[in-house]
Amino acid sequence: MQQSPKWHDLIKINEYLYEIPQSFRSDMRVPARIYMTEAMFQDIEEDRSLLQLVNVACLPGIQKYAFAMPDIHQGYGFPIGGVAALAIQEGGVISPGGIGYDINCGVRLLVANMSKDDIKSRLPELATALFHTIPSGVGRSGKLSLDTKELNQVLLYGAKRMVELGYGNENDLEHCEENGNMPGADFSLISKEAKKRGHDQLGTLGSGNHFLEIQAVEEIYDEKAAHAFGLKKDAVTVMIHCGSRGLGHQTCTDYVRIMMAKLPEWGYQLPDRELVCAPFLSQEGQQYFAAMTAAANFAWANRHVIGHWVREAWHLILGPGAELITMYDVSHNIGKRETHSINGLKKEMIMHRKGATRAFGPSRPEVPAAYKEIGQPVLIPGTMGTSSYILAGTDDSLSQAFGSSCHGAGRVMSRTKAKKLISGSDLRARLEAQGIVVRCDSSVGLAEEAPIAYKDVDRVVKVIAQAGLAKKVARVVPLAVIKGG
Amino acid sequence: MLKDFEILPHTADLKIRVYGNSIEELFKHALIGMFQSMRPAAPECHYNENKRLVCANLPINHAIEVNSPDRDALLVDFLSYALYLSDVHNEAYLDVTIDLLDMKRILAHVHGIKIKGFDESEIKAVTYHDLNIVKMNGLWQTEIVFDI
């Protein structure tokens, strides 16, 4: 059995960056780099996060380093918080497991034109309305059921199709990664099984760590950037965290299976079968990318519809003058075709970000026009009862880590252990004692996501900011948490 | 009595170790482990002292036929198909009749019940991570990591 790197195997680059040299294992094609502090090493030394990162460093075509963000924790194949750039013209591969089963799981943030004091008296009512409006938890169906023809349009055009159908508006699209409609999708490459799973799941949160949160801006770190993002102290925000539901899970499963059958032909020796991959330019690689793009569009349509329903509930409770404007929507499980410079040479990459967020600085054309001078918003949800952060991508991040940042706090404890340490009802009582309204029909689900199961998000974000991957713009705190089981 | 499966620690996902006196039993226990771990909510069944869902009848049957490159892949593909059926039909499967099982092919019928949902986090997918079917001390076993 292969050994995980120990502390003595790591080289300190600076206070926030450590390296596992290529010499650690003979099959590494590049070194691996981890953004963390020395104190954070204890969170990952017992599990297999770093071994998984070393495995990523073995992928054909990988450039510079296999990166881990400070929220790194053990996953399958890639660690969560893993970033890899695979050069397309140098035999770079695409790995469905390296993107994740929940394709385009991500976060959308809406900003209200009201302060926390404006909504204080109506908060329980708002939370209840959102809980009843947005289907959550395990269980499959939502309020929308699409026939195959309509589902295909959503797979092709994502959130843009939903605007055509009367959900949300153009402004939502302008403030969304890929404008909610990533080009290159091919619905014919999504299996009938995936379509069956997805046809009535549009507009549903799902379970696990997915949630809706009503929040308030607690602290502003960068006035100029906050102004551009429409944020001010005490303003209310709504955060939506979910992905592509069963349609995405099935799509990843399907292509892992397809690539597994072809693996002997390509001759890759992989340290973990879950890293199964295809040359990006092969037929299988291209087909998976087009299918993944379609599933990503489904996820953007999903968060878009949920945003629309949040707005409807908002108007219902607070009146038609209560606005909610989409600030941004980022993916943190996705593969992207991006051009990056390495030693002055431009290379086209297939970027893998699994549990990692794109964090492009002002120089990139992908940043929305409204944020051109600031950089792309980076949304980092914390845990229940703790802060979440809004950051801005930097050009430094582009030169360091292909324009990437962390995606959350990062788990440190299994769900089983979390449930042993705290009951759902105790956690609910603690949150309510902090003045946070909780709407969740599963105590078990609540306990699994207890803050003690996660790293301290403040420490994680500090590493990102100090390392220069993104700059802190604002910190928000929860007023109400709405989640499924 | 032979332990059929146990839940192992995993930071973010669900990891189980499955045991079987035969390969057929290993596949059966993997299916049971996957669905029992999600705690199906089925009004006509009850949970016993071991926190296992017990049903007097499993009236729903689906035929499963899967072909895969090798036995490890066959287990992943078999469980993935059962997961797909569960998601589409809102059902949980707690038993299986295996008609044929070799290194690359399984023909089986899964038996289950309608459910209201699952009380634990849904399993998104079955992964290959750490999966390695081996026979140790006369007992077949493997670990399986599920994405949740």
Please report, in tens digits, the pLDDT of each residue of chain B (148 residues total): 678 999 998 888 899 999 999 999 999 999 999 999 999 999 999 999 989 999 999 999 999 999 999 999 999 999 999 999 999 999 999 999 999 999 999 999 999 999 988 888 789 999 999 899 999 999 999 999 999 8
- Which among A137, A272, A444 is the nearest to B129, CB-wise? A272
Domain span at residue B18 reads: 5-147
pLDDT at A307: 97
**Phi, psi (deg, nearest 5) at residue B11:** -60, -45
Residue-wise pLDDT tens digits, A78-115? 999 999 999 999 999 999 999 999 999 999 999 999 99
pLDDT at A379: 98
- Which among A197, A257, A415 is the nearest to B87, CB-wise? A197
Number of structural domains chain B divides into: 1
Contact B87 A101 (CB under 8 A): no
Which neighbouring-strand residues pair with B147?
B125
User: What's the whole-number average pLDDT of chain B?
Assistant: 94
Nearest CA in chain B to A484: B121
Q: Say if CB B47 and CB B98 are below 8 A apart.
A: no
Write the CA distances from A28 to A24, A52, A269, B10, integer angstroms.
Answer: 8, 12, 12, 25
Give how far B105 is from chain A: nearest CA, Å: 14
Write the CA distances from A307 to A240, A241, A302, A311, A385, integer angstroms.
Answer: 8, 11, 9, 6, 22
Q: Please list every residue in chain A whose beta carbon sits closer than 8 Å to the beta carbon of residue B132.
A: none
Contact B129 A448 (CB under 8 A): no
Q: Is A412 on the interface with B (CB under 8 A)?
A: yes
Mutate which of B11, B47, B62, B83 to test chain A, going by most A C-beta atoms within 10 A? B11
**Phi, psi (deg, nearest 5) at residue A313:** -65, -40
* pLDDT over 80 (residue A353): yes
Give how far B1 is from chain A: nearest CA, Å: 24
Give the pairing of strands A93-94 and A78-87.
unpaired
Whole-structure pTM value: 0.95
Contact B131 A276 (CB under 8 A): no
- Which among A252, A264, A415 is the nearest to B121, CB-wise? A415
Contact A102 B128 (CB under 8 A): no
Active-site residue, A407 included: yes
Burial of A115 (0-12, 13-18, 19+ CB in 10 A): middle
Residue identified by tokens 């569960």 is B86
| A120 pLDDT tier (thresholds 50, 70, 90) | very high
Q: Is A47 on the interface with B (CB under 8 A)?
A: yes
Give how far A100 is from chain B: nearest CA, Å: 9
Separation of alpha carbons A190 and B67, rounded Å:
20
How many helices (DSSP H) and strands (DSSP E) are in chain A? 16, 19
**DSSP labels for A279-317?**
ETTSHHHHHHHHHHHHHHHHHHHHHHHHHHHHHHHHHHH
Q: What is the CATH number of the domain that holds B10?
A: 3.55.10.10
- Which among A73, A417, A442 is the nearest to B12, CB-wise? A73
Q: Which of A175, A199, A332, A407 is catalytic?
A: A407
Nearest CA in chain A to B66: A257
**Chain A residues 148-207 with CB within 8 Å of chain B:** 193, 196-197, 206-207
Residue-wise pLDDT tens digits, A209-222? 889 999 999 999 99
Residue-wise pLDDT tens digits, A28-67? 999 999 999 999 999 898 888 999 999 999 999 999 999 9
Q: Is A208 on the interface with B (CB under 8 A)?
A: yes
pLDDT at B130: 86
* pLDDT over 80 (residue A363): yes
Q: Say if CB B12 and CB A80 are below 8 A apart.
A: yes
User: What's the whole-number average pLDDT of chain A?
Assistant: 94
Mutate which of A415, A417, A448, A454 to test chain B, going by most B C-beta atoms within 10 A? A415
Q: What is the DSSP letter of A22?
A: G
**Residue A195: which of A255, A147, A162 has the closest Cα?**
A147
Contact B129 A76 (CB under 8 A): yes
Contact A261 B69 (CB under 8 A): yes
Higher per-residue confidence, A135 vs B136: B136
Contact A257 B14 (CB under 8 A): no
Kindly report the number of other CB atoms within 10 A of residue A405's CB atom.
35
pLDDT at B1: 61
As a whole-number percent, the residues of chain A with pLDDT over 70 amount to 99
- ipTM higher than the 0.90 cut: yes
Task: Tell me the HSE value of B77 on the side-chain side, using a 13 A CA sphere.
Answer: 25
pLDDT at A144: 86
* Mean pLDDT across A399-428: 89
Q: Which domains does chain A have, with CATH numbers?
A: 7-412+454-483 (3.90.1860.10)
